[in-house]
Chains A and B, each alone.
Chain A
């Protein structure tokens, strides 16, 4: 799969298809032309076997130069002329485990761009590509967005090769497959589809690889681009692909029969297919004892509803259904609302928008200024706002509880979709009260029932009902009791 460029738009195809001839001068000219103004590409002329010319080509700072100089150039210099009978003979004499012969100009260009140094030797057709990639990368660190109390502390990094090794280290089986793709006309980003043969559904594997091959784009900057290209429904507010930066989560998904999509230069790995419930789970549910796992899971379900509906219910009840609030509480609320100039819905809207703005500001700001945001934020959503008479104290409570609830969701993408949905529900509840909320919830539920992620119903195993799999949804059953793989993900045995 790798190797063949999907067509570099900068050069014409015939030039790239041309074979690497035996004429070094000619090859040098062609390559120099291709790499015009590429200041980072090194052309190193040297002599082998006394008088024979050779060129080493590589991109600066992406190659282990020390190794190249000592092992390769050093060895080649001391070879006899008989050793240059064919390119393959020469290649075998280089003390390097990862090397191969390439034949076309296009392949040479691709290898160089892929950070593999290439050596062309006069009067030998073809070129030797050496696997000596070495570039600066971040160390494996604790994941920033998915922290756990209990669980492994390593996280994916930008280098995909390292990420693959993190997974391979946890799954020592040849059934773990990595299929390579190269996506993006210019970026030629490496994308890897990973699955366990025998567990993952073949139709899901084909669907995902088909969709990845169909991506037609100049460049992949982050896995989010891939996610948007391959997800089934772009218009749904709900994420249909899970993302993670934790290798343990990725491996657990693989063992459930799901597939991973790894993208080079990003620590975020995509997991497909996904369901509503898996987006509500944290890896720690399985590391803690099952009672705790179940409890926390339910806490999350409850606060999912709170995060979605709290401001809307507050507005609806205060505007239309006073009889639903206990009298003492209502009278207290009425008292605190007395001096507020805005109707309840506008108050809720102002506060929610402000909160979203604060949250966004907090995410984007440099860490040094972060504390300033929290100080200002505490003023805006807090006692000062109440004393200024802009909002009432109960509203501040509601906004705070909504904020906390949305932070409880382990998947950021899920809490984002809640943030989107909250506003239309608030709008409807302000117009028609609880009726509007019920209407919105019904629309959301019916949408969730229709939504599919790579053929898997989004609400499974609840709809369609699978009683056996519910033990990992409604509760987190003890691991000894969960002997079968979830049938909606995994291939039927």
Chain B
């Protein structure tokens, strides 16, 4: 045991030599990708528009901390979100010309929202999406939105002092959350290539007699082959909008209500749980799909004459009425999707691919025409759970 120290000394020397060797490449690499947080301008939101032929117009909202504007206790403050605009043949072109003028490194690390203008989206998002997927090292949770008009106008119209906070929070909304970079990547490379994105819009809020414009989300944009093919707005068609929400597989939103007119009053149910299942079948060359939608809902309003608290199972009777109502919305949506737009945004292609891989391979080149011919049946089964606490007839 007496020679143990000499062995470890040898070992120590070899470890020392090895670590010195490992240190050397570090010195030649330098710290070129080092970026202190206070040398960085974080792009919180980016709006992408197309102005003229082959030109991209980029509007970015950059967070630049301004420590003198307030103490450490102050949360959001005015004058910390700066809007920059630049144009170029492509986004990187536009960015590099902007970067040359700025002392801070622009960073995509915390970009929350990518907003595409209507015109650009109609022309095609391919070029810009490729850049965003390839080079931008933002989180994949960054949300993608389409806006009516130009994104520049939308971003510039926001005059709420808490804009940066709103921009961060809006991505956390259930109706926006699911439509992130990961979703777009998956959908574009997926079977159908069609997907939906939420539409960004502005909303006026008044607080202490001043009116502020804040960002909000209204409606759904349908994208096929990276091109905007249709916008479904609340005003235009409420039922269609609702149908999209029911049918969207990844949407986490539970904030869905449905109102019936029945027995001289209104009955409103609020969604609690939702289970969507697509059951494909191919028989005799006919492609069929069954949409099975299971819903749990609570009654939140009932001004009709039906007494929901009596032992007589009036809730069960109501369920069929709700089933019919929901089915009506769904059929309307499917008609729009299948016949008018011919965009498989619900994911029929993926379902068939999973269960009938060989048959799907044969038709995958001609999916659009197959999709239009798919026979859809509905199986909506909604369960009403709670009738509410009190039922006072007025």
Contacts and interface: CB of A to CB of B under 8 A. Distances in A.
Interface of A: 207, 210-211, 214, 232-236, 318-320, 322-323, 327-328, 330-331, 333-340, 343-344, 393, 428, 430-432, 436, 439, 443, 447, 450
B168 A334 contact: no
Interface SS majority for chain B = mixed
B65 A322 contact: no
Interface string B21-62: 010001001010111111010101000000000000000000
B4 interface: yes
A334 B2 contact: no
A393 B112 contact: no
Closest 4 interchain pairs by CB? Answer: A335-B65, A323-B109, A233-B8, A338-B67
A108 to B, nearest CB: 34
27 contacts: A211-B1, A232-B5, A232-B8, A233-B5, A236-B8, A318-B36, A319-B35, A320-B33, A320-B35, A322-B37, A322-B40, A322-B42, A323-B138, A327-B44, A330-B42, A331-B42, A331-B110, A331-B164, A334-B42, A335-B66, A336-B72, A337-B36, A340-B38, A344-B37, A428-B26, A439-B22, A450-B11
Given A322-B40, A327-B112, A338 B66 contact: yes
A350 to B, nearest CB: 15
Nearest to A208: B1
Interface string B222-247: 00000000000000000000000000
Nearest to A392: B38
A431 B31 contact: yes
Contacts of B8: 232-236
B63 A331 contact: yes
Contacts of B130: none
Contacts of A331: 42, 63, 65, 110, 164
B260 to A, nearest CB: 42
Contact of A319 (B5, B29, B34): B34
Contacts of B138: 323
Given A322-B107, A343-B36, A431-B26, A335 B67 contact: yes
B7 to A, nearest CB: 9
B373 interface: no
B110 A322 contact: yes
B4 A432 contact: no
B110 A235 contact: no
- Chain B interface size, under 10 / 10 to 19 / 20 to 34 / 35 or more: 35 or more
B208 interface: no
Interface string B88-115: 0000000000000000000101101000
A151 to B, nearest CB: 35
A428 B19 CA distance: 12
Contacts of B67: 335-336, 338-339
B139 interface: yes
A235 B37 CA distance: 38
Interface in B145-165: 164-165
A322 B109 contact: yes
Contact of B1 (A210, A323, A343, A393): A210
A93 to B, nearest CB: 49
B12 interface: yes
A240 B165 CA distance: 53
Interface string B61-90: 001011100001000000000000000000
Contacts of A327: 42, 44, 110, 112, 168
B9 interface: yes
B37 A328 contact: no
Given A340-B38, A343-B36, A232 B168 contact: no
